[in-house]
Amino acid sequence: MIGSPGTLILVTVLLPCLAGVLVLLLGRNPNAREAATLLVGGVTFWHVLGILHLVREGERPSLTLLEVVPGVEFAFQVEPLGMVFALVASFLWPVTSLYAIGYMRGHHEKNQTRFFFFFAIAIAGALGVAFSGNLFTLFVFYEFLTLCTFPLVTHHQTEEAKRSGRIYLGILLTTSVGLQLVAIIWTWVLAGTLDFRDGGILAGTASAGVLGAILVLYVYGVGKAAVMPFHRWLPAAMVAPTPVSALLHAVAVVKAGVFTVLKLAVYVFGIDLLQTLATTAWLAWAAAATIILGSLVAFSKDNLKARLAYSTISQLSYIVLGAMLANSLGIIGGGMHIAMHAFGKITLFFAAGAIMVAAHEKEISRMHGLGRKMPITFGAFLIGSLSIIGLPPAGGAWSKWFLGMGTLDAGQLGLLCVLMLSSLLGLYYLLEVPVKAFFFAPPADGGHHGHDHGDDHGDGHGDDHGHAHDGADGHDPSAFVIGGLREAPLPSLIAICVTAAATVALFFWPELWHELMSAVVSGGAQ
């Protein structure tokens, strides 16, 4: 651990950039390249734990780098909500990198050095968002995260990947510049500051109608939160390799979106002000509509990654709903759901990628009986599903409990019914996968084809090495074969086990996340 709290913050944000540089320098040596990624990822998480210690002691470490214009600084300040996001991103980065080693090699992906480079600097963007001390700094890192994940979305360089990349970039930049930036400038004009403060900075600065309009601009301007109708970029991005999907859905991008919504609710508007705005209730129902519609579309998808993508759209609005409930229980539930959803959903995406690499299947209707060959993968998928649904013994049960209590505290029985209906839909569209895998017989045509190695929307051709099949010695680099089992490559399998175990651990030990979010609302309600 290095120096003062401010130095610690700066080093933590810069460490992923160092990893990116090392990846480029060691690109010709894959083992060294990936070892550097894992090592720096571990060191980054260690530094985040150092900042966590300070925050739990009641400190708010800060660092001002420069004054851009009078009254607007490029500055960091770490508070409990930012700590939640930083812990999730920094822990899951090396785990996802470990998964990616097995996936990218087993799937024979091209341009692996470029992948690991942009993955690393995306984490720097996520940590910058988490540690932002004001709206200006947050906006800079928010846009940085969008730009550095674009090459990951278009990784396959097919026409479909390029088209999806244009959708990704178009929606996220249009919403952030056309809506979010307008709201930030409006906030500056009214409040005279862009700093995050307990209780907010907008109370008493304008009429309820004006402040309500600004709230709408912010919620829809944070396109990464994927509130409908600004959600299309998320399923479009599923063209990317599965580790990128994990990054988008669990580690950085969408979490940056919903984190920003919560941050705005607590530190720009304040809980007390939100309770007085008519648009707060309207936005809560907009989030509720996204929850149900996302669940219904997920219900209709046979492609596993597409189903998971629409599930994410639904689950993100749980967090937006928590913010718009404008009470302590809703904020606590929303903040805890950042962590609970991250671990559950990344487990699901890890499993989806493992199924594709080891069994070459991506359609749920063709996964009958696969659980007998891949029991670890489908067992992990079951655990992740329970968390997303909100059932014990998985961590999602806690966040959904607090969100449900938040709806009751707000007197919104209709919103409680929405949460319950979404969970019931999740019971089908998520549990269908392990049920078919474990309890249904394989297809009558002999089952699972070994000729389709493509990603969900990719070109299906790895790199110059072509497709991997069992050789004369029985070795298959696309799978970890032991006995009659055929699981994902060992690094990926280890990562799956880690996130599945963490998902269960969050149920039995949720205290840290509750402690951090309780600190958020105790300050935010002042």
The predicted structure's pLDDT at residue 2: 62
Rounded to whole angstroms, the Cα distance separating 208 from 230 reads: 25
Question: Measured at the alpha carbon of residue 145, what is the angle toward residues 139 and 149, in degrees to the nearest 5?
Answer: 155
The SS3 assignment for 75 reads strand
Residue-wise pLDDT tens digits, 16-36: 999 999 999 998 999 999 999
Determine the pLDDT at residue 448.
54
pLDDT band at 245 (very low <50, low <70, confident <90, very high): confident
Beta bridge partners of 120: none
Amino acid making up residue 236: A
Other CB atoms within 10 A of residue 203 CB: 15
CB burial of residue 77 (10 Å; 0-12, 13-18, 19+): buried
According to the model, what pLDDT value does residue 447 have?
52
303: β partners = 363
Q: Which residues contact 503 (CB under 8 A, 6 or more apart)?
A: 340, 343, 344, 347, 383, 384, 387, 394, 395, 396
- The tens digit of pLDDT for each residue in 356-376 reads 888 888 999 999 999 999 999
Q: Is 449 helix (H, G, I), strand (E, B) or coil?
A: coil
Contact between 38 and 97 under an 8 Å Cβ cutoff? The reply is: yes
Mean of the per-residue pLDDT values of the chain: 89
What are the tens digits of pLDDT across the range 462-521? Answer: 333 333 344 333 445 566 767 678 888 889 999 999 999 999 999 999 999 999 999 999
**Nearest residue to 247 (alpha-carbon basis) of 155, 161, 162:** 155
* Domain ranges within the chain, ordered by starting residue: 5-447+479-524
Spatial distance between the Cα atoms of 12 and 18, rounded to a whole number of angstroms: 10
How many C-alpha atoms does 152 have within 13 Å on its Cβ side? 28
DSSP 322-373: HHHT-SHHHHHHHHHHHHHHHHHHHHHHHHHHHHHHHH---BGGG-TTGGGT
Residues 6+ apart with CB under 8 A from 243: 96, 99, 100, 103, 104, 115, 119, 353
